Amino acid sequence: MKLDHLYSLRRNFTVIGLTGRTGSGCTTIARLLSGTYEDLKEKGLREFTQADHNSPFIRKYEIIKNYIKNDKNWVPFDVISYKNILLLYLFNQYGGNYHRLGRLLIAHYRESKHENNHSAVTAVYVKLIDLHTKNGLLIDRITSLKNFDEIKSQEELLELNKIFFGTDFKKFSYEVFSILQSEGYYRRTYFLHHIACNVRQSGDPFIAEGDSIKNIYTLSIVINRIIKARKLANGTKPTRIVIDSLRNSLEIMFFRERYSAFYMLATKDVLDNSKERVLKRLPKSINKVGDRERLADKLLKLDEIEYKTKDFSKGLFSSPDVENCIQKSDFHILNLKRNYIEDFLLKYDPPFGSLNFLTREEQLLKLIALITQPGLITPSSVERCMQIAITAKLNSGCISRNVGAAIADSNFYIRSVGWNDVAKGHTPCNLRDVQDLINTENTDTLKESTHYSPFEKGFVSPKSSYNYKDGIPGNFKEAITDYFKDSYNANKDDLQGKNCAFCFKTVHNHYEGEANQVHTRSLHAEENAMLQITKLGGQGVENGILFTTASPCELCSKKAYQLGIKTIYFIDPYPGISNDQILSGGHQNTNPKMIPFSGAIGIAYQKLYDSFMSYKDEISMTLELKSKNKVGIQFKEMIKSLKGNEEIREFLDKKKEFSDEDVIKIIKDSIKSNSK
């Protein structure tokens, strides 16, 4: 193709990171990306009836499919499995140190924190030593590698590529994980979970304490070196990498900052409840129903910890935080098999018809086509509206979580936009500074300030005060001073000039001993969007559609129900009972449909749908289409409009085609005529 060089950066190098909850299909997606187009077609691409072919979607579908099935446009991805990265790092650090490996197994290869795991460890340890003996040469090669951040020369990178992508290491890793699984699938999962956390925390698989800020990118650096090694080894051939899978949002930030060709993909299993999803993932070798049920329950508890961690607020950045990973993803896929389409449509139709990119294979097809040929098709209505909600959330002044929302009518025309923020006239939380309240020298300035309420300033009657410390009555100003002052004075230099914003709700709930959402200063994004319609006298939104970056809470769900919203698209589910208690209550005909979002948002939306040039020009350049006498046609009307003599006008009327020389002659004659 004549424009190959123009698209070479997109087509020759791509990195996709995968994330999702336990059992949501990351490994399946990685396997599909590493296969062939024919595999993709056989497993999940649908054929449509002739009656469907009048739909604009079918045109999009056929354009995407015809593009990808071209031999040049589907290049299988190399898979970098996160657990294989852990294994590589572990043996690079420990090598033949059997004693440290044994201690590591005793510490983390267990069913629970208090389990006596010696018999299980002994059984696994003996098998690993035997495997180690058989693979001594490979392990020596791994051990001889430098620290990964020091691997820079071509020779070192090529050796790293040979090791990681070589058949010996793939076979070795498979056997190691089989051994770890032999004494319990959960033990293996628990073991890997803690090794990953330890390495991100301290840089050492065994040590759980350390400077997580300094070591948080340790495993990301290993992956980065392997990507560079693969790219070097491939030479002029395309390099496409899929990372299975990332579960720490700071690691996502690492790759996003380094690679413009990085796309973060979140996968969601939409038809199964959590337990069914995990049960499907379990190995068939675990065949007793009771054993499978118990194991699924344990995995779900670990999944919940990894999904909704609170460690980041404690300064422990090494923990998995899958919820944030999903929120930070820029392409979302529903893990939907072709034979489950009918069940899906029964649940979501209307409004979700079959004429969409529905199966996971179709959604992958669309993603890869748009990566390599941006602007090949236009966004869906759902993507367009969710992109507005994503953009809106950047306006949020909340320092806890930014949420955006958009409300559209039944035809996807936007009626209102909102984001979580304080009421008009109040100062957003991100613009307020705690030192204004705890600094006793600025009392007069504080009295005049409109950025803080009388309650926050401590100007309250005895009835408004509360017991904030050991039963001692006080006011909010005294409470926030107690909460912040010592830490602020000791560490304020570390802020390096940044504003020290604070969350009123957090401080107030801390001293009241509650977890009350009522005390938040902000309106929710969905609530704000709904109020804008009332405030501005807009049209009603009955049978309309709500797009929100986080599914609505109980309060916003009631308002959406009352307004007659029929469909709610969301990126990440909000914790609580809003769906089961409110949105699924009442008459079935009035219940809004809750649909997980799929498609591109954020930066990826721009990158995938913004074409490099106008499509007309691209086709013209590719086919070498030439407009006859383009120069003459372009200038004819312009020259006619010039003041000229009769001779020029007659010449223009007689001539149908113009050479460059003709045009130059006419312009010269016209200039002469006008100069007289």
Last residue of a domain, one of 519, 546, 575: 519
Give the closest residue to 605 by CA, choosing from 387, 403, 373, 414. 387
Assess whether 556 and 529 both reside in one domain. Answer: yes
Tell me what percent of the residues of the chain surpass a pLDDT of 90: 58
Assess whether 490 and 581 both reside in one domain. Answer: no
CATH classification of the domain holding 393: 3.40.140.10
**Digit-coded pLDDT (tens) for 194-205:** 999 999 999 999
Which amino acid appears at position 640 of this protein? Answer: K
The per-residue pLDDT for 643 is: 47
Last residue of a domain, one of 492, 519, 546: 519
Assess whether 180 and 310 both reside in one domain. Answer: yes
Assess whether 507 and 562 both reside in one domain. Answer: no
pLDDT of 233 higher than 60: yes
Residue 428 burial class via C-beta count within 10 angstroms: exposed 0-12, middle 13-18, buried 19 and up: middle
Asked if 48 and 61 count as a contact pair (C-beta separation under 8 A), the reply is yes
The per-residue pLDDT for 676 is: 54
Mean pLDDT, range 399-413, rounded to an integer: 94
The answer to the question of residue 622 being in a domain is: no
Last residue of a domain, one of 477, 497, 519: 519
Give the Cα separation of 355 and 333 in Å (integer).
16
Asked if 510 and 480 count as a contact pair (C-beta separation under 8 A), the reply is no
Assess whether 112 and 212 both reside in one domain. Answer: yes
Asked if 56 and 300 count as a contact pair (C-beta separation under 8 A), the reply is no
Give the strand pairing for 414-419 and 404-408. Answer: antiparallel
Give the Cα separation of 179 and 168 in Å (integer).
17
Assess whether 397 and 453 both reside in one domain. Answer: no
91 or 514: which leads in pLDDT: 91
Instruction: Write down the mean pLDDT value for the chain.
Output: 88
Q: What six digits make up the tokens of 417?
A: 């936009």
The answer to the question of residue 26 being in a domain is: no
Give the Cα separation of 265 and 18 in Å (integer).
5
Residue 449 burial class via C-beta count within 10 angstroms: exposed 0-12, middle 13-18, buried 19 and up: middle
Residue-number span of the structural domain to which 486 is assigned:
430-519
The beta-strand segments (E) located in 388-454 are 404-408, 414-419, 421-422
Assess whether 155 and 103 both reside in one domain. Answer: yes
The answer to the question of residue 34 being in a domain is: no
The per-residue pLDDT for 649 is: 63
Assess whether 493 and 581 both reside in one domain. Answer: no
The answer to the question of residue 610 being in a domain is: no
Can you give the pTM of this predicted structure?
Answer: 0.88
pLDDT of 13 higher than 80: yes
Number of folded domains that form the chain: 4
The answer to the question of residue 387 being in a domain is: yes
The answer to the question of residue 667 being in a domain is: yes
pLDDT of 657 higher than 70: no
3-state helix, strand, coil in the chain (%, to 5): 60, 10, 30
Assess whether 296 and 325 both reside in one domain. Answer: yes
Asked if 422 and 405 count as a contact pair (C-beta separation under 8 A), the reply is no
Residue 131 burial class via C-beta count within 10 angstroms: exposed 0-12, middle 13-18, buried 19 and up: middle
Assess whether 498 and 573 both reside in one domain. Answer: no
The answer to the question of residue 46 being in a domain is: no
Assess whether 565 and 642 both reside in one domain. Answer: no
Assess whether 468 and 558 both reside in one domain. Answer: no
- DSSP H or E run through 563: helix 554-563
The answer to the question of residue 368 being in a domain is: no
The per-residue pLDDT for 65 is: 95
Give the closest residue to 22 by CA, choosing from 155, 220, 205, 185. 185
Give the Cα separation of 329 and 596 in Å (integer).
14
pLDDT bucket at 553, cuts 50 / 70 / 90: confident
